[in-house]
Amino acid sequence: MKMEWTIGKKAGHLRPKLHYTLTLEDFEIDLAVPMVRITSTIPKPPDAGQHYVWPGTKECGKEEPEEVYDLCTPSHKTGHCREMLMLPMRPGNNYPEVEVSFRQLRRAYEEALLAAYANSAFEIGGRLEMTPETKRRMAPAVAARRFLAVVGQVS
């Protein structure tokens, strides 16, 4: 799985945004690995739906938000997800928990991937024919019918 992310913030009172993309490789899609969800350590601002935050609010102070985001891998049906998360304003614009959280997601996903891979492929087949006893019992009637068909007596 490829994980790519960027954090960007425009000038002013606009919140920083985390944009990330997770893409499964073809062999991962073929294994039908279930989606993996983790609780990250990425802080979720109190009003995460707002693209801005005013000066003087708690978020612009030293207090960190109490809520965090969940992260999950894409479904094997789509193989891809693109998300955007609002981040709290921070002096210094430093968000080390983003990489830490993606590493946690990768670790959990790789465990699920290895479990799926351990469920190995197989193919079972079989073949049965008529038993010799049944062939012996039917042989006289089958032979007579064939013989009569050759001489034109039976259709």
pLDDT at 60: 60
Higher pLDDT, 141 or 5: 5
Measure CA 68 to chain center: 22
State which amino acid sits at residue 50: Q
Residue 6 inside a domain? The answer is: yes
The answer to whether position 91 is within a domain reads: yes
pLDDT band at 148 (very low <50, low <70, confident <90, very high): confident
Task: Note the pLDDT tens digit of each residue in 9-23.
Answer: 999 989 999 999 999
Domain extent at residue 96 = 2-118
Tens-place pLDDT, residues 26-54? 999 999 999 999 999 999 988 888 888 88
DSSP 54-84: -TTSGGGSSPPPSEEEEEEPPPTTT-EEEEE
Average pLDDT for 109-132:
90
Q: Give domain status of residue 130, yes or no.
A: no
Q: What is the pLDDT of residue 19?
A: 98
Tally the domains of the chain.
Answer: 1
Helix (H) or strand (E) holding 17: strand 17-23
Looking at residue 28, its pLDDT comes to 93
42 located within any domain: yes
Q: Is the pLDDT of residue 142 over 90?
A: no
Q: What is the mean pLDDT of residues 114-131?
A: 89
Pick the closest to residue 51 from 83, 81, 13 (CA basis).
13
Higher pLDDT residue, 145 or 105?
A: 105
Flag whether 125 is in a domain. no
* Three-point CA angle 47, 53, 59, nearest 5°: 70
**55 part of a folded domain:** yes
> Per residue in 47-97, pLDDT tens?
888 888 887 776 665 566 689 999 999 999 999 999 999 999 887 888 999
Tell me whether residue 150 is in a domain: no
The single-letter code of the amino acid at 100 is: V
Does 144 reside within a domain? Answer: no
